[in-house]
């Protein structure tokens, strides 16, 4: 044990795995010699207390040396790892100047974004002749392009409606009714449209007119 303690500073100073390999190899070799060469040839080994003490003493020394080498080796590895983790330079770190430049401003504020164009809604009124004649009160209507809302009143005792077409294509119309009002809403592009009553014979009798839609 005293010899192992004397070897500890030397093994620790080496800071390598070689002492551990040497000590371990000697311990393994000693175990093989005692068990294979000596133990198998002499059944009565150790023959007395002296041999037993010698064998145990050498074994304890070798085990202790191996443990000391292991501790020294692990300590050296940990120290090397800590050294490697240290930064290469311990000097003050220079901070790179910011590349951001102050934004130049002018006395004129940016114009606000243009609001979305409002939908144009044209509200019109039309009515059938209250005396019962097959005619509208207005023969021509005008509206702006976009949404066109026509409120049609029928105070006549005869059923009527208001139908819109362009190029012989019907775009929409109110129901056929007597008394009260009905509203027709269409989205129309600029152009000329025809309004009429679709009740059989009414248009042929003159119940029609023009709707002009301007930009």
pLDDT in tens, 23-69: 777 877 767 776 776 666 666 666 677 877 777 878 778 777 777 77
How many residues are listed for the chain in this entry? 215
Topology (CATH) of 121-214: Immunoglobulin-like (2.60.40)
Confidence at residue 56, expressed as pLDDT on a 0 to 100 scale: 80
- Percent over 70 (pLDDT), the chain: 64
As a whole number of angstroms, the distance between CA 93 and CA 90 comes to 8
Confidence at residue 29, expressed as pLDDT on a 0 to 100 scale: 78
Mean confidence (pLDDT) of the chain = 77
As a whole number of angstroms, the distance between CA 180 and CA 196 comes to 18
Helix H or strand E segment including 120: none
48 vs 177, residue with greater confidence: 177
Per-domain boundaries in the chain: 2-82, 121-214
Confidence at residue 58, expressed as pLDDT on a 0 to 100 scale: 82
Q: What is the DSSP string of 159-202?
A: -B--EEEETTEEEEEPPPBSSSEEEEEEEE-SEEEEEE--STTT
Whether 76 shows a pLDDT value over 50: the answer reads yes
* pTM for the model: 0.46
Omega cis (within 30) before 46: yes
Whether 79 shows a pLDDT value over 80: the answer reads no
Confidence at residue 123, expressed as pLDDT on a 0 to 100 scale: 97
């Amino acid at each position: 044990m005293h010899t192992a303690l004397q070897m500890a500073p030397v093994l620790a100073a080496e800071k390598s795995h070689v002492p551990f390999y040497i000590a371990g190899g000697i311990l393994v070799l000693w175990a093989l010699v005692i068990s294979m060469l000596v133990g198998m040839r002499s059944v009565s080994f150790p023959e007395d207390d002296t041999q037993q003490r010698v064998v145990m003493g050498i074994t304890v020394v070798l085990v202790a040396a191996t443990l000391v080498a292991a501790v020294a080796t692990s300590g050296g590895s940990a120290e090397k790892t800590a050294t490697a983790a240290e930064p290469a330079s311990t000097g003050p770190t220079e901070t790179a100047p910011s590349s951001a430049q102050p934004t130049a401003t002018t006395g004129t504020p940016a114009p606000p974004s243009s609001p979305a164009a409002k939908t144009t809604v044209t509200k019109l009124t039309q009515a059938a002749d209250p005396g019962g004649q097959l005619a509208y009160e207005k023969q021509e209507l005008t509206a702006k392009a976009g949404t066109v809302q026509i409120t049609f009143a029928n105070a006549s005792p005869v059923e009527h409606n208001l139908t819109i077409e362009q190029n012989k294509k019907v775009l929409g119309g109110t129901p056929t009714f007597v008394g009260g009002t009905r509203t027709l809403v269409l989205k129309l592009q600029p152009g000329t449209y025809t309004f009429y009553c679709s009740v059989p014979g009414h248009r042929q009798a003159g119940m029609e007119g023009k709707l002009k839609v301007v930009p």
